Structure 1
């Protein structure tokens, strides 16, 4: 589907065999967001996305699954985007977003926690713009619209 020749990773559709690796990346990522609370509270939403949304995974031959993205084909809304800690800043997130944008044919949108400064800076560097503020108090989020 997509291959990053320089870094050696590729992007392909999700299969059932990817579920455990994606759950580990999800768990490890959410543990870094203390304002979110217990990561297990978000599992039902992720499980639903695996069943109902389009899911892409980034894979590197020796490391296995290094990131994943879930999105709605009809609207271009990105439910989840998580990259393994060891593979951040390697273009994996950008690649997943680009493949999703190509598949939908529309600008993507997503919500990001206001406290997640590193993610907000990364999206800004990719040309994403603030669309609206969403959420309440502790869980405030910003809706971003892709370029």
Structure 2
């Protein structure tokens, strides 16, 4: 579907065998967000979104799943986009976003935590723009609109 020969990873549709690796990746990423509550509600949200979402994983033969994305194509909204720490800045996030954009043929949107400065910078470098503020005062987020 989408490969990065130099880095060795490829993107493919999500399958049942990807539940556990995606949960583990989400869990690992959440440790970087001290402003977030425990992982259980986020794992439930992922579990509940997978049956109705389009989802893809980025996989490297030796490392396994190194990133994943879930998309609600009817509204062009990305529910989840997570990339393993060691695989950031290798094009994995960009590749997953490109696949989602190809799926919809329209600009995408997503919400990102205000405190997640690295993710915000990465999206802005890819041409994403702030659309609105969302969430509560405790978990303030911004809605980004893709190019």
Structure 1 vs Structure 2 CA RMSD = 0.7
Superposition misfits of 4+ residues, deviation over 4 angstroms: none
More moved, 40-49 vs 23-32: 40-49
The equivalent residue for 2:34 is 34
Q: Residue 91 of structure 1 corresponds to which residue in structure 2?
A: 91
Following superposition, the deviation at residue 20 of structure 1 comes to: 0.6
Between 36-45 and 75-84, report the one with greater CA deviation: 36-45
Q: Which has the higher helix share?
A: 1
Q: Normalised by the size of structure 2, how large is the TM-score?
A: 0.98
Deviation sequence 1:80-110 (CA, Å, 0-9, x none): 0001111011110000000000011110100
CA distance in 2, matches of 1:129, 1:114: 14
CA-CA distance at 1:51 after TM superposition: 1.2
Q: Using the alignment, how far apart are the partners of 1:5 and 1:87 within structure 2?
A: 14
Counterpart-to-counterpart distance in 2, 1:89 and 1:30: 18
- TM (norm. structure 1) is 0.98
Q: What secondary structure, in the 3-state scheme, does the structure 2 residue paired with 1:12 have?
A: strand
What's the offset of the Cα at 1:49?
Answer: 1.3
Partner of 1:82: 82
What is the aligned partner in structure 1 of residue 131 from structure 2?
131
Structure 2 unaligned blocks of 5 or more:
none
Q: Partners in 2 of 1:103 and 1:41 — Cα distance?
A: 28
SS class of match (1:66): strand
Aligned residue for 1:63? 63
CA distance in 2, matches of 1:42, 1:5: 32
1:5 deviates by 1.5
Q: Per-residue deviation at 1:52?
A: 1.1
Unaligned stretches of 5+ in structure 1? Answer: none
Q: How many residues align?
A: 147
What does residue 12 of structure 1 align with?
12
Rounded to whole Å, the distance in 2 between the matches of 1:50 and 1:31 is 22
